[in-house]
Amino acid sequence: RFLSLQKREISNFDYLMYLNTLAGRSYNDYMQYPVFPWVLADYHSETLNLTDPHTFRDLSKPMGAQTVERKRKFIQRFNEVEKNLSAQCHYCTHYSSAIIVASYLVRMEPFTQTFCSLQGGSFDVADRMFHSVKSTWESASRDNMSDVRELTPEFFYLPEFLTNANHFELGCMQDGTVLGDVQLPPWANGDPHKFIFLHRQALESDYVSAHLHRWIDLIFGHKQHGSAAVEAVNTYHPYFYGDKIDLNNIKDPLIKGTILGFISNFGQIPKQV
């Protein structure tokens, strides 16, 4: 399959879906939903230049290390092992979880009901809802130390999830903005179909094709855990590594329930492929 990718006999999208399937990720399980990378870093330009390397996200680094300052803070966290952490790691939140998936796709059923169920029966505070591609990128790549989320496959083929066609009352933000359709980058001209078209072009671009293997190493490969993960600033709470925990040997039902609840709420590392 990798040779097919190198020869351009398979698209980057199809290859990523193949890897997700091998790693046990499935559309049928929100806790292990297919994970896709942020590929762009430009959500402010009027036109998208796919020949400029600065247009793209650094695929060799996890979301927690996209800026020098952010990387420094997560390394400091790893070295200090803060009192509220139960284990040494860079990240206590995950890049893919049921709530992340449902929040991205909240404008479509059945994800609307799933999101509300996970939130205790209602939508979240409007300012925390997914409402802007640009602000979500800034949160996950720079601003929010508890946000390292990646994307879902829908960002590359499904314009419908970006519109509030069902007219759900998603609330009003503190600045007075009423939530409706997702705010798109200027280069999309307010058109969800154009956003998906250009975003998919970015995924299949020469730059991403040349660097995608570095992201795959982080998510599915040898930089997923161990010393390589530490060096890559890519370690997560031990509970996220579901296949490394033998629940059958944990006799205390309270501890076992805590671990299962943690995985259910916060996500799980894909199986290494």
pLDDT more than 70, % of the chain: 91
pLDDT at 190 over 80: yes
pLDDT at 85 over 60: no
**The two structure tokens encoding residue 38:** 């942020």
Average pLDDT over residues 183-188: 98
Torsion sign across C-alpha atoms 67, 69, 74, 78: positive
pLDDT at 107 over 70: yes
Tell the burial category of 138 from Cβ atoms under 10 Å away from its Cβ (0-12, 13-18, 19+).
middle
pLDDT tens profile 89-100 = 999 899 999 999
270 and 219 Cβ atoms separated by less than 8 Å: yes
Q: What is the pLDDT of residue 3?
A: 53
- Confirm whether pTM is higher than 0.85: yes
Distance CA 162, CA 128 (A): 16
pLDDT tens profile 198-226 = 999 999 999 999 999 999 999 999 999 99
Complete domains list, the chain, with CATH = 11-264 (1.10.1540.10)
Decide which of 84 and 143 is more confident: 143
Q: What is the pLDDT of residue 80?
A: 84
Q: What is the pLDDT of residue 51?
A: 96
> Residue 225: how many CA atoms within 13 Å on its side-chain side?
16
pLDDT at 173 over 80: yes
pLDDT at 135 over 80: yes
Q: What is the pLDDT of residue 75?
A: 95
Q: What is the pLDDT of residue 248?
A: 67
Three-state helix/strand/coil letters over the chain: CHHHHHCCCCCHHHHHHHHHHHCCCCCCCHHHCCCECCCECCCCCCCCCCCCHHHECCCCCCHHHCCHHHHHHHHHHHHHCCCCCCCCCCECCCCCCHHHHHHHCCCCCCHHHHHHHHCCCCCCCHHHCCCEHHHHHHHHHHHCCCCCCCECHHHHCCHHHHCCCCCCCCCECCCCCECCCCECCHHHCCCHHHHHHHHHHHHCCHHHHHHHHHHHHHHCCCCCCCHHHHHCCCCECHHHCHHHCCHHHCCCHHHHHHHHHHHHHHCCCCCCC
Of the candidate ranges 4-8, 79-83, 162-166, 197-201, the one whose mean pLDDT is the lowest: 4-8
Q: What is the pLDDT of residue 240?
A: 86
Decide which of 15 and 125 is more confident: 15
Distance CA 86, CA 134 (A): 33
pLDDT level of residue 153 (50, 70, 90 thresholds): very high
pLDDT level of residue 5 (50, 70, 90 thresholds): low
pLDDT tens profile 246-272 = 666 777 777 777 777 776 667 789 999
> Residue 50: how many CA atoms within 13 Å on its side-chain side?
15
pLDDT at 83 over 60: no
